[in-house]
Structures are given as C-alpha cells and as structure tokens.
Amino acid sequence: MFEYGEMNHSAATLAPSGARSGARATERESVESLQARIRQMQATRLDTRTIPTHPAIAGLLPGGGLKQGVAYSVDRSATLLMALLAAPSAAGTWCGVVGVPEFGVEAAAGFGIDLDRLVLVPHPGGQWLAVTAAVADVLGVVVTRPPRRASDASVSRLTARLRQRGTTLLVLGPWPQSEAMLSLSESSWSGIGQGNGHLNARQVTVTVTSRAGRPRSARLWLPDPHEQFRAVNVQREAYRQEAAG
Amino acid sequence: MNATRTIVLWCPDWPITAVARVRGLAADAPVVLIDGSVVFACSAAARVEGVRRGMRVREAQARCPQLLVFPYEQALDIRSFEPVLEAIEQTMPGVQLLRPGTCAVRARGPARYYGGEEEAALWLLDALDALGIHGSRVGVADGPFTAEHAARLPGRQRIRIVPEGESAEFLAPMPVGLLGQPALATLLRRLGIHTLGEFSRLAAADVGARFGESGAWLHSLASGRDSRPVVARTPPEQLDRVVEFEPPLDRIDQVTFGFRAAADEFIAELVCAKLVCTAIRIEVDSESGDVSERGWLHPRSFTAADVVDRVRWQLQGAGAVDSGLGSGITRVRVIPENVDAIGNHEEGLWGTGLDERIHHGLSRVQSMLGHGAVLTAVLGGGRTLLDRRTLVAWGDRPTGGKPSSQPWPGRLPTPAPSSVFEAPRPAIVLDAEGATVDVDERGTLSGAPAQFSTDGTTLLPVGAWTGPWTIDERWWDVDDSRRASRFQLVDRAGVAWLLMLDGGHWWAEARYD
C-alpha cells in the first residue's frame, strides 16, 4: 500500500520548509485548509457525506456543503433553490421538485440544471408528504413546499427515511428539523433603469442560519450577467462605486 | 398466362369514412382531410359544394364555409380497415389488401360456394352493410386491375361483372391515365393514344422495345391480361385482449379488477411470442355508446401491472381514483401497438440498476396521483414563458413543441424568471396620479408606473421599470391573435416582476425571486 517513493518525496518537500521559518505560517495554513478539505470529503460518520455544492454557497453551510440525508430550509427564493440544485444536477444527480407548480424550467436550464434529470410533481394535493417520501426514495435531491404544517411524527418519519436513503431535502419555507436555513436580503438588480434597459444581474446577501453557531452571510451574484453564480468581489465593487460616485 | 377471376371490393372515400367512424361525425357532414395544406380527401357533401382533391385548404373553406378540416392519418386508415377485412374473412377466405378501402378476393371459391359470382358479391355487400359501411361497390373481372376499375365505374349499379375474356373490350374506352403512371400517360397522349384500347392495339414487341419491361407490363394490363394472382393475406396473430362486462360496471376499481386477469394473459401471450410491448392502445366502450381510445407509451416495456394502471388512468381522466363513471363500461380492449423482440429488452447484469429504481419509484407516484402528475420538462420555442416549456408525463415522449432554433423575436432577455405562474395573476399598475397605466396603439405609455400590486391588497412603490415590449402574435388569425405589452418592474425590496398588459388588463406572468 505505502510507496517509498511517495514518502521520500513528501519528506523532501518538508525539509526546506523547516529551514525557512518565514514560509512556515503560510504552509501551516495550506496544511489546515487541505485537512479541512479531507474532512469534508471523507466522512467520519455515514450521514455526513456531502454532495457537490456550488462553491459560492458551500463555504456558508455547516460542514462545508450540502449534506446527504438531511433537510435544508430555503426562504422564498427560487433562484437560491436553483443555485443549490445546479451543482448536484451537473454532477449527474437526479433532482425532483414536489409541489412547486411555478418552478421556472427555463431559468433552471439557464442556470445549469439538467432537464433530462429533473422530475416535476407540481400538484401532489393532499398526499404531498407521501409523494415527497416516495420521490425521495429514488432521487438524490428533492425540493418540496409543504402546503401546511406537518405533524412532528410525520416529519421525523420523513427525516429517518432521508437519512436511510441519503437524500438531501430542500424545503421552500420553514421546516422543523432543518440543518440550516438559507435566506436572501438586500437584493439589488442591475441593468434596469426608469423605462430603459432590462433585468441583467442581481447582487444579494445570502445568510445561512444553522442550529449551531452564528449566522454566516456573503454577498453573491445571483445571477451575474452571464447567468452564473459567484461571490461578489467586494473591493472591486467599492472601487467601482467610488469611480461612479 | 390466364388471368385469375377476381372480386374487388371498393369502399369509396375510405379515409373520410374512417375519420367519421372514429370521431362520430354525421354521414352527410362536409369533411376534408388535409395533407400539408392541400385537400387529400373530401366527403360527398363537400364535393357537392365544389371542394375537390388537391385543392388548397383556404380555397376549399371559401367554397364551403362550414367545412370540417382534419389532418390525414394513414395509420388510422389502415387500422380502421382491419375490422372490414376480418368481416370479409368470415364470409369468404383469402383476402388481399390492395390499399385501405380496397381489397381483392379470388372469385372461384366463393362463386362455387354461394352459387354464382353475383351471389358472392351480394354476400360481400351484405357483410359490409352489417358493419355500417354503406355505398361500397364490387367489381368482378379477370384480374384485380380490371375488377377494380369495374368497381370504380360511375353509375348507380353496385355490382359490375365483366364476363370472362371480355376484359379487353371493357377496358378499351377508358383513358390511359388509369394506368397510374402520369409520365407515361402524358407521353402516350402526345403520341395520340388516349384510351387503353388504342394502347393495347400497339404491338407488344414494339411497346417492350420502346418502354421497357414496365411498359410491357402496363400494356398487358391494358389488354386485359392481368397475370397478377390474388395473394391471400395471413391473418395476423391476435395478441389483443378484450373483456366484455355484462352487466356494465360503473366503478373504476371494479373495471380494473375485472381486467387484471386479462392483462396477465396479454403479457404472458406476448412473452410466448418472444415479444415485449413498448406501446399499447386501449379502447373503452361505455353503455352510452362513447368510445374512448388512447395510445400509451412505456419507457421500456409493459408489465401486467402497467397495463392495468393505464386502463385505470384512461378511465380516470381527471377524476379521483375511487370516483364513479358517467356511464357503465361494457368493453375494454388492449391492442399492442409497438412490439419488439424480447432479447433487445433483457436487462443487463450491471449498470441498468439506477434508472430501473427511479422508474419504479416514479411509477408508484403516478399510480397514486395519475399519469399526468409526474412530469419532465422540455424547452421549445415561443414568446410567452408558458409556450416555451412543454411538460411531458413520465414515460411519454415529447410531442407538439415548437422548435427553439428559430429566433422568436419578442422573447425575454436572459436571465429567465425563476418563478413562472401557472395562470397569470391579476395585477394593478398605477402612475404617479393614481390612474391605471395604459399603452396606446403605437406603444406609447400613458404615464410612468409609480405603484403596483400583484396580490390585490398592498400597493408597492416601483423602484425601477422597463417596457413596454410588444408581442404581436398570429395577427392573421382573428380568434387566435394576441397583442400584449410586457414590462419588468422591480419593487423597493428588490423583487422583480414580469407584468403583462393584455387588452387593458394587467397580469403578473412571472417573478424573479
């Protein structure tokens, strides 16, 4: 299993770093970041594996990404939902959308969700919980919107099922046992004026509130002018505003 | 070589008869079937009004305004002729299908059995009248060519018999166009040969030298020496299943339960024939005489439970699972529409597991909610957001979408809105004075939007706006035309809306949230 060549090589790279003390701090940082990445990819327990998550949002989530087998709650924004779906869908996961008849398919395709692997159940009616559970049995990521508050017993049954199947549930609206709650604020559109232009790009502050720890937030392009999601470069924006002002 | 005595049965305007039977139209309705933009077939009532085959649809509609126009489907023609062939096979064996609406039978056997060619022809017409197909005609002659033209001869007589050996005299006055070769017919007319009789008087060797083998063959047809035998068709193996309910059942669960055993046999028989079925057609007859007919597809192949599900969904329509039916069901029939060798559908040992599991899970949801409840989406062309997306039930293949490769001027700039309402919601848009904003014929606004509401209760101030973007669709069609103006509005909270002004009313079409 162990290759001597590899060992010698790593020893060789460590030796000069010991000699130069100035580089030690940066190296420790990189080692820490690498360890964090290993922790993220390698599960300590079975239920903490993560699924591919957009890098702009992954840093805000507890555990560094969307976890398998747990529920997340998303407050109102369909674009934020699509930002969460885009990365797993691009990686080949099947996604399901239950009880969201107004889900904009064209926007989803534009943001990189593969429509061939997207299943819609727009009107589950009174059986939404059973339908969500049945869809969650077979698909990797499931979006649902509860038409009413579910009973605690049925929520914990669904949670157990998610954990068993390793399905990530994204709930539009509040959810009692959610891992984290994602919400938008300070949304500002660009490209549109008073009777001219058209909606082009939007900057928002995405806030993630989890059960443990303080809320984390970041300024994101959701979407940017090329229908991509990315973090806002705050310094550049400040400079641009100064130049404009 | 002697020609075979042949009986040819001809049902005039078969495509029209087929459509009228399937759609339940009156026999005297003016109907045309179109192929592209040209009339392919027309009913007798339409013909009286001056509609002709090959005419443009618009011209036909101008001559007969109450005309019913349907697209021509060849599959429907063939399918609906099948019961006719079966009925004939019960009267006399050995039927050859020449084309839908026309078939040939060897005359010798039936003539001997029924005691004469005319008697046999009368039996044939009786069998068709019993099926409710009136106006069919029979011709008896040497060879199918002569017999068919005897049947098609205008006049009131329904049976024409050309005595043995008199085919040449019978065909002599007919035009050369009947040979079915327009190029040859034109050439013959230029050579001064207008009738089949004149053509047959040419020496056979000369015709063979000038027009080759096919010309020689047509020459022998024209001289009444039709050497084609009647090749009886092999009746196809019956793989369909029919269940009759007596007394009629009026509950869906009873019907599906009653059909379960038949579905098992249906699949078992297919398996015996080393076939799997990827498409079926279900016909349901009800007590009130309604026939519901629909094709169902399967992404892989049908199992017995899938067939029962399809029967239930077809009965259900939009109703709930345990709801009653409008009238009792008397008969359910399942026909395999598309079969394939079973070897092509055997599962591999590895690699197909995931899709299988997904399909089973989603089929379960379909059996809970109905076939159309689980959907996949395909993007197409169009201007409004609802036009651009096509939702396809799980397992079906997409149909009817417009091509997205065309430019579609007037469509929205990217990014597309993330929430598209299923039905546009009524909205209010006011200018600074509190009057509703309107757009005139030339696209000028009555005032800049200052406040708007999409829920009918709270008025929100407009932060930014743009528009109007005019959509002018199908202006050539009075019923279907549409002229609307679209706007994008952003409220102070940063939520953007796509609003539409259509006929003086404001609607919220979508939201960028």
Domain finish residue from B161, B182, B206? B161
Mean pLDDT of A206-220: 88
Q: Which of residues 370-389 of B touch A (CB under 8 A)?
A: 373-379, 385, 388-389
Nearest-neighbour CA in chain A from B329: distance (Å): 28
Same domain? B101 vs B135? yes
List C-alpha distances in Å: B465 to A78, A204, B157, B436, B503.
Answer: 21, 19, 77, 15, 20
- Counting residues of chain A whose pLDDT is more than 70, the rounded percentage is 86
In a domain, B112, yes or no: yes
Domain residue ranges in chain A: 4-41, 53-178, 183-244
Nearest-neighbour CA in chain A from B249: distance (Å): 28
Check residue A39 and give its pLDDT: 64
Nearest to B416 among A76, A104, A137 (CB): A104
Query: How many other C-beta atoms lie within 10 A of the C-beta of residue B49?
Result: 15
Residue of A nearest to B360 (CA): A138
In a domain, B203, yes or no: yes
Same domain? B136 vs B189? no
Query: Taking Cα atoms as reference points, which of B227, B152, B218 lies closest to residue B185?
Result: B218
Residue with the larger pLDDT of the pair A239 and A218: A218
Distance CA B16, CA B77 (A): 9
Contacts 24+ apart (CB under 8 A), B357-360: B357/A138, B358/A94, B358/A138, B358/A139, B359/B299, B359/B300, B359/B395, B360/A138
Instruction: Give Cα B33 to chain centroid, integer Å.
Output: 11
CB spacing of B414 vs A110 below 8 angstroms: yes
Per-residue pLDDT reduced to its tens digit, A164-192 = 888 999 999 999 888 899 999 889 999 99
Per-residue pLDDT reduced to its tens digit, A116-130 = 899 999 999 888 999
Same domain? B259 vs B205? no
Check residue A42 and give its pLDDT: 57
Same domain? B216 vs B257? no
Same domain? B114 vs B193? no
Domain finish residue from B298, B327, B351? B351
CB distance A227 to A115 below 8 Å: no
Phi, psi of B220 (to 5 degrees): -70, -35
What is residue B348's DSSP assignment?
P
Nearest to B358 among A108, A138, A199 (CB): A138
The whole domain housing B119 covers: 5-161
Instruction: Please say if the pLDDT value at position B113 is more than 80.
Output: yes
Query: Taking Cα atoms as reference points, which of B204, B139, B208, B207 lies closest to residue B174?
Result: B139
Distance CA A230, CA A219 (A): 9
Instruction: Please say if the pLDDT value at position A6 is more than 60.
Output: no
Pairing state between β A71-74 and A178-192: parallel
Check residue B253 and give its pLDDT: 86
In a domain, B249, yes or no: yes
User: In the CATH hierarchy, which top-level class contains the domain A53-178?
Assistant: alpha beta
Q: State both tokens at B463.
A: 């932060």
Task: Report yes or no: B419 at the A interface, CB cutoff 8 Å.
Answer: yes
Residue of A nearest to B376 (CA): A119
Instruction: Identify all chain A residues contacting B410, using CB atoms and an 8 Å cutoff.
Output: none
Q: State both tokens at B432.
A: 């600074």
CB distance B420 to A102 below 8 Å: yes
Instruction: Please say if the pLDDT value at position A48 is more than 50.
Output: yes
Distance CA B462, CA A193 (A): 11
Instruction: Identify all chain A residues contacting B363, using CB atoms and an 8 Å cutoff.
Output: none
Residues in chain A, overall count: 245
Give residues with Cβ within 8 angstroms of A170, minimum separation 6.
A71, A72, A73, A74, A81, A84, A85, A141, A142, A143, A144
Pairing state between β A178-192 and B38-42: unpaired
Mean pLDDT of chain B: 86
Distance CA B92, CA B107 (A): 9
Mean pLDDT of B470-487: 85
CATH number at residue B203: 1.10.150
Residue of A nearest to B445 (CA): A195
Check residue B411 and give its pLDDT: 84
Check residue A71 and give its pLDDT: 92
Instruction: Please say if the pLDDT value at position B240 is more than 50.
Output: yes
H or E stretch covering A217 = strand A216-221
Residue keyed to tokens 């059909």: B259
Same domain? B153 vs B24? yes
Per-residue pLDDT reduced to its tens digit, B350-386 = 555 557 788 888 888 888 888 888 999 988 888 888 8
Residue of A nearest to B447 (CA): A195
CB spacing of A199 vs B495 below 8 angstroms: no
Distance CA B275, CA B342 (A): 5
In a domain, B408, yes or no: no
Check residue B462 and give its pLDDT: 92
Per-residue pLDDT reduced to its tens digit, B223-233 = 888 777 777 77
Instruction: Please say if the pLDDT value at position B389 is more than 80.
Output: yes
Instruction: Give Cα A160 to chain centroid, integer Å.
Output: 22
Q: State both tokens at B211.
A: 């027009």
Same domain? B89 vs B145? yes
Nearest to A198 among B376, B420, B466 (CB): B466
Same domain? B247 vs B346? yes
Instruction: Please say if the pLDDT value at position A101 is more than 70.
Output: yes
Q: What is the ipTM for the molecules in this complex?
A: 0.79
Structural domains of chain B, count: 4
Which of B322, B358, B363, B365 is best to mutate for the A interface (most A CBs within 10 A)? B365
In a domain, B152, yes or no: yes
Same domain? B437 vs B470? yes
- Counting residues of chain B whose pLDDT is more than 70, the rounded percentage is 95
Instruction: Please say if the pLDDT value at position B320 is more than 70.
Output: no
Instruction: Please say if the pLDDT value at position A144 is more than 90.
Output: yes
Same domain? B38 vs B140? yes
CATH number at residue B32: 3.40.1170.60
Instruction: Please say if the pLDDT value at position B468 is more than 80.
Output: yes
Give burial (CB, 10 Å; 0-12/13-18/19+) of B453: middle
CB spacing of A120 vs B388 below 8 angstroms: no
CB spacing of B422 vs A102 below 8 angstroms: yes
CB spacing of B493 vs A106 below 8 angstroms: no
Q: Which of residues 309-348 of B touch A (CB under 8 A)?
A: none
Check residue A11 and give its pLDDT: 42
Q: State both tokens at B413.
A: 């700039």
Chain A and chain B share a number of CB contacts under 8 A equal to: 148
Same domain? B342 vs B263? yes
CB distance B495 to B418 below 8 Å: no
Nearest to B466 among A108, A186, A197 (CB): A197
Task: Report yes or no: B74 at the A interface, CB cutoff 8 Å.
Answer: no
